[in-house]
Amino acid sequence: MKETVFLKPMTAEMYHAYYREYQNDPDLFLDKSQCKPFVYTPEWVDAYIRRQADKGRKCFAVMAGDEMAGELIIKDIEAGKSAALGICMKNDSFKNRGLGTQAERLAIDYVFYEMNIPILYADSILPNERSQRVLEKVGFHYLRTEGDFKYYFIERPEGGPKRLMQMPSNIYFVNGSAYAGKSTLVKGLAEKYDGVICEENYHDRLLPELDPKEFPCLCYTRDLQDWHDFIRRSPEEYEAWYDGVTVECETLELRFLPELARQGKPVFVDTNIRPETLKRIADAGHVLIMLADPDISVRRFFERPDREKQFLYRLILEEPDPEKAMENYRRGLMRINSRARYDRFLHAGFPVLTREESRTVEQTLELAEAVFGLHP
């Protein structure tokens, strides 16, 4: 099976381990034009981390399995205009394996389709012909030579995204509307096929580590002081927050799902990744849409016994006018469970299972297996 990499946001601990372990690597600083001996000190690394943060750079580790194969930086960011790419693979044991090429492609997709930046620049020190070959391989075009560097650029294709990071072929995605049975299905498939299960809100475990600047909607609930403010929002505010959470959850899933897939087991995901993104990342036959009538999602929202919904229900009852508070909250639910949203899922181009009360869980499981091409 082809070796794959993924990008993981750099932490201070990762930076220290990286530079401490490879301080004597003669190639480590080649791409940074620091062709001189380097001695690790905690103070140097701390200052380096501060410089990256002060300049607003996005820093990632290039991960090959559990090993950090290199460092990738998106810098010189001008929102909506351009950014620049810097990458340094750790040493010769990680070179000539196609890992840097994959990492650069992931970075290009991230800049174009997650950061919504249409042009990306890169440079390479003149002696490093291997770096230049990789840039040209992933689509960069030569721009100019200046001093000791060759400069390159790549533009986002017109007419919409052509490519996004391809997910490993052992991941199966289930998306759709509320109350359609998505969580029950992924749980049943994971149990039957000894797989990894990613149920609804499975990324909540990552919340403590999130930066509110990058994930403002997810951090809104994490940092909320009075949960009554959550239910008091207008329906329009609730819908905007919900859509923001969807986008931010998609970003998280794109980052860590490849890592889960490396366990070698099938991964079944009750996903937040939008259908338009799934079209670009998922293998054919690896996406299923499950739908329930929008009215059910609104009418039966508080009928579920799960802790979160009952907590919200108690908050509504504590309001000075519980009836008015309930009506306000239901209007928000109606916006995020509208017929228009239902139709977008229905016509997304993937196989669809609609909720049928007469169908058993086992029968739904069999239908999903047929979509995914799974056999016990």
Residues 233-267: tens digit of each pLDDT: 999 999 999 998 998 888 888 878 887 887 889 99
Both structure tokens of 287 = 């996406």
Nearest to 207 by CA among 193, 190, 224: 224
Residues 6+ apart with CB under 8 A from 53: none
Rounded Cα gap, residues 147 and 142, in angstroms: 15
Instruction: Spell out the domain ranges in the chain.
Output: 6-155, 171-372
Determine if the pTM surpasses 0.75. no
The CATH class for the domain spanning 6-155 reads: alpha beta
Strands of the sheet with 171-176, listed across from one edge: 196-198, 267-270, 171-176, 287-291, 352-354
What architecture is domain 171-372? Answer: 3-Layer(aba) Sandwich (3.40)
367 within 8 A of 188, measured Cβ to Cβ:
no
Where b means 16+ CB within 10 Å and e means fewer, 32-63 reads eeeeeeeeeeeeebeeebeebeeeebbbbbbb
pLDDT band at residue 37 under the 50/70/90 scheme: low
pLDDT, one tens digit per residue, over 156-194 is 877 554 455 667 889 999 999 988 999 999 999 999 999
Q: Is there a shared CATH topology between the 6-155 domain and the 171-372 domain?
A: no
Residues linked to residue 120 through DSSP beta bridges, in sequence order: 83, 154
Calculate the alpha carbon distances from 219 to 110, 241, 273 in Å: 21, 11, 19
Name the burial class of residue 95, with classes exposed (0-12), middle (13-18) and buried (19+) by CB atoms within 10 angstroms of its CB. Answer: middle
User: For residue range 68-113, what is the model confidence (pLDDT) as tens digits?
Assistant: 888 899 999 998 899 999 998 776 666 667 788 888 988 998 898 8
